[in-house]
Chain A
């Protein structure tokens, strides 16, 4: 498991005296920024590998959504909380504790990765460790997390939350609506982080929903609702932190809606030429990573040279993960265990 955030960065200069809260906020900001950076740069590498023909299937980038996603990941506790990330959650996955190598292994089809070449790209996870592996069908993971929470309640566990992510497009599905309503009825400590990134593939939000603000839906479901500026890591950490704490304290389900712009195509095969140029100048189109760096410099938490050093360290980590995954064996159809059931004696065919 990856290092927990607090030990990742030692600030260049320590803020004066004993203002612990300010120190903690700075440390959390910097640690979360590092997950954002690792996500961004590792996805840049994935994009390059895809363009070089080294990756089969799609590559879906979370560019522009790292602040939202990482802020959720750092607020979850691996071991007790459960998490079902979605397509644009590389940052949240890493912050929750997924080792970087597992993303490379999955995209590159390594037999040693968590999906063993059987499933690819974003469809990865380790469900036994509270890290559910999404299926493609949008909306489906919300009820799965809800069920995981019901199980924990049955088992007498306490102090846990479950979280999942969704896009403005996925929020239109029946699966999503059913699960939100059910989670509210069951009063579960469920956090749903919705990214309204203006487009669902090529469909603009205006063709996706007709209510003024998606966060208003919280009222109808019986969720607490929170709006967050997805371009601001400070706001993401504060708002998502508050929502997670509320759910953990027994405050019931929480819907967080972040407004941003998807700063990439739907996937790397998509040049996003349909994006309205006017939108790129809206406040929600700011790049959250750039904004976080500006804040770090403005506050004097790190110097420009520290940021460069950090970037180098992250690049090295990515190089290592890619070259390791590239050397690993790929699946072999001849030795593959073609079996979809754990109960071997019930596999269809001639029974023993």
Chain B
């Protein structure tokens, strides 16, 4: 058996629906059509009345999930593209994220964000929003990079009593395959050493994990052992695992697909510099997309986001320092 990242997301939703009558799915085209990416394919047939097409209203979709959660449901809402969650941003960061702190009533909603770049998707269908949501107290932000994590973390997201922004990556939907669904997993908030090493640490997450692993593979030809840390969850961020890795290697490169200003890579570096400065043998580096909107043409897109060759370059510079 072989299962894709996308199928894992579908399977997790099917299991959540089957296991818990409080779960329902609401989002644009998620019903009979099965979702723009088919992440809910057949679910409306398997679970009649529980997988519903919503009007194009990201604000109202999230707002309704909050009300339903207050009444004891555990809604999963799909933002058709992460980019459009900006329309629902207010409900996510001001309403869902503050509810428990203000009222002691938890808000167990899962907001699925098909994130990141895909060939030809251009400026409005390619963005990574994880840092924006991580900025706000009261939200958990997941960024699974593997088929196994896509499955187990989505199930965990639905079970968590707080709002989870689930940033799944569109590029991984079809490109990534695993032999089987996992039976156990690391808990949310724990990072994973995806590849052990001793010469430098790459801290990354989501689709960039695979670019980082490819870069580490290439440097292995030159006998460099690069450690790769997959954050899995960006909020909370696993500072301990990051620091332990940097303690082993002395060098840090943080890689993210999002825009360069602020963001997850900045957070990783800030934490290492403030809490583990003495562990560093060289200034920590980071690699992000360029500071422009995301281009449409493949030539431009390939140069816009970090890729394995760019990571190799950055690592070679870091190792020379």
Contacts and interface: CB of A to CB of B under 8 A. Distances in A.
Interface of A: 82, 114-115, 118-119, 123, 125-128, 132-133, 135-137, 140-152, 154-155, 174-175, 178-179, 181-182, 185, 339-343, 345-351
Contacts of B105: 127-128
B162 interface: yes
B160 A343 contact: yes
Interface string B22-46: 0010000000000000000000000
Given A151-B73, A341-B100, A351 B238 contact: yes
B55 A340 contact: no
B70 A128 contact: yes
A154 B24 contact: yes
23 contacts: A128-B105, A135-B94, A135-B95, A140-B90, A143-B60, A146-B64, A147-B66, A147-B68, A147-B71, A147-B75, A148-B67, A152-B71, A154-B68, A179-B60, A340-B100, A340-B138, A341-B100, A341-B138, A341-B162, A342-B106, A346-B188, A349-B239, A351-B190
Interface in B67-112: 67-73, 75, 87, 90-91, 94-95, 97-103, 105-106
Nearest to B160: A343
A178 B67 contact: no
Nearest to B235: A348
B255 to A, nearest CB: 21
B298 interface: no
Contact of A144 (B66, B97, B106, B235): B66
Contacts of B54: 182
B68 A151 contact: yes
B94 A151 contact: no
**Residue in A118, A137, A143 with the greatest tally of chain B CB atoms within 10 Å:** A143
Interface residues of B, number: 52
B71 A340 contact: no
Given A143-B91, A346-B162, A346-B189, 13 more contacts: A127-B103, A144-B63, A146-B64, A150-B64, A150-B67, A151-B71, A151-B72, A154-B68, A175-B90, A181-B55, A343-B140, A346-B188, A351-B240
Contacts of A146: 60, 63-64, 67
A325 B91 CA distance: 32
Contacts of B189: 345-346, 351
Contact of A174 (B59, B162, B237): B59
Contacts of A143: 57, 59-64, 66-67, 91
B57 A351 contact: no
B63 A142 contact: yes
B57 A182 contact: yes
Contact of A343 (B57, B59, B101, B161): B161
A135 B75 CA distance: 20
A188 to B, nearest CB: 9
B236 interface: yes
Nearest to B98: A135
B63 A175 contact: yes
A123 B62 CA distance: 20
B103 A126 contact: yes
Contacts of A155: 71-73
